[in-house]
Amino acid sequence: MDWTGKHLMIFGCGYVGTALAEAALAAGAEVTALTRNPGRAEALRAAGVSRVVQAEILDAGWRRQVPQEADFALNCLSAGGGGITAYRQAYVEGMQAILDWAATGSRRIGTLVYTGSTGVYPQSGGEAVDENASLAGGDGRSSILAEAEGRLHRPQAGIGRWFILRLAGIYGPGRHNLLDQLRAGVETLPGTGTPRMNLAHRDDVVRAILACLAAPAGIGHEVFNVSDGSPAPKREVVRWLCAALGRPVPAFAGSLSAGRRETGPADRLIANRKLLEMTDWSPGFPTYREGYGALLREV
């Protein structure tokens, strides 16, 4: 991939955005990254990102600090902590702020990728879920994610084409909470351990974004699930990790965290067939074994 002379604008440049920025810089692109997080902004500058803007997306002042045009843009804003208000601000209002910016530019954005979430799906009873699954009937967070996607589906003045990537649970270097818990010697994990985990390694997420940005001109305005395609019950993943770590397997018992108590963790099989068939993407970490195996060797 040669991106010499291309400009990539990343909104919400955190864990995924930074990995994409590094790949784009290596390919010769000019990168502008926006984050409100001072530590992340500092890290981005240290990584050689051409232009780092530390700003709140809902404060229009950032528009004066970024170029008026971009060949590529990524919206990977994340609500992080915070309640439902923060969720709406990050996803719906954040998306709208980006679309408003794109509509007023002198030249439109070539390709916009939005990293949404498989949390948009209300299905949670063990179903196979592809991109045609109904989004009706979700809880507050699912509805907000659906509304954010809906903003893209409206006619867009400033964007050549867009892709929505519905990401499964991201893990990778520096983000491996389950592994950390087991290493720390946890004896009990909440829940039953039977719902399937749908995972996507960070590097496969970056590869999916790159596959969309580089997709042939005939492809666009598409929604893709991004997951490794190998959902596995949490109990199985935990057993495998414990064997690799040489430690006893913790019991599953006790109640879930407050946010998950009502609905329980979603049990479903996220399909990645559409992304495999329509782009040149394929997962470098096709199951949790490859992904966690690499992490166990690294950390």
Interface residues toward ligand NAP, by CB under 6 A: 12-17, 35-37, 40, 56-58, 76-78, 80, 90, 94, 115, 117, 167, 169-170
Residue type, 55: A
Which residue's CB is nearer to ligand NAP, number 76 or number 213?
Answer: 76
Among residues 134, 105, 101, the alpha carbon closest in space to that of 120 is found at 134
In whole angstroms, the minimum distance from the beta carbon of 5 to ligand NAP comes to 26
In whole angstroms, the minimum distance from the beta carbon of 199 to ligand NAP comes to 9
Distance CA 185, CA 182 (A): 5
Distance CA 245, CA 251 (A): 16
Which residue's CB is nearer to ligand NAP, number 94 or number 110?
Answer: 94
In whole angstroms, the minimum distance from the beta carbon of 291 to ligand NAP comes to 13
How would you class 96 by CB atoms within 10 Å of its CB: exposed for 0-12, middle for 13-18, buried for 19 or more?
Answer: middle
Which residue's CB is nearer to ligand NAP, number 48 or number 246?
Answer: 48
Please enumerate, as own/partner, the contacts of 48-56 that have beta carbons within 8 Å and a separation of 24 or more.
Answer: 49/13, 49/21, 49/25, 50/25
Shortest-Cβ-distance residue relative to ligand NAP: 14
Q: Greatest CA separation found in the chain?
A: 61
Which residue's CB is nearer to ligand NAP, number 178 or number 218?
Answer: 178
Which residue's CB is nearer to ligand NAP, number 42 or number 127?
Answer: 42
Do 271 and 130 touch, CB atoms closer than 8 A?
yes
In whole angstroms, the minimum distance from the beta carbon of 218 to ligand NAP comes to 27
In whole angstroms, the minimum distance from the beta carbon of 285 to ligand NAP comes to 14
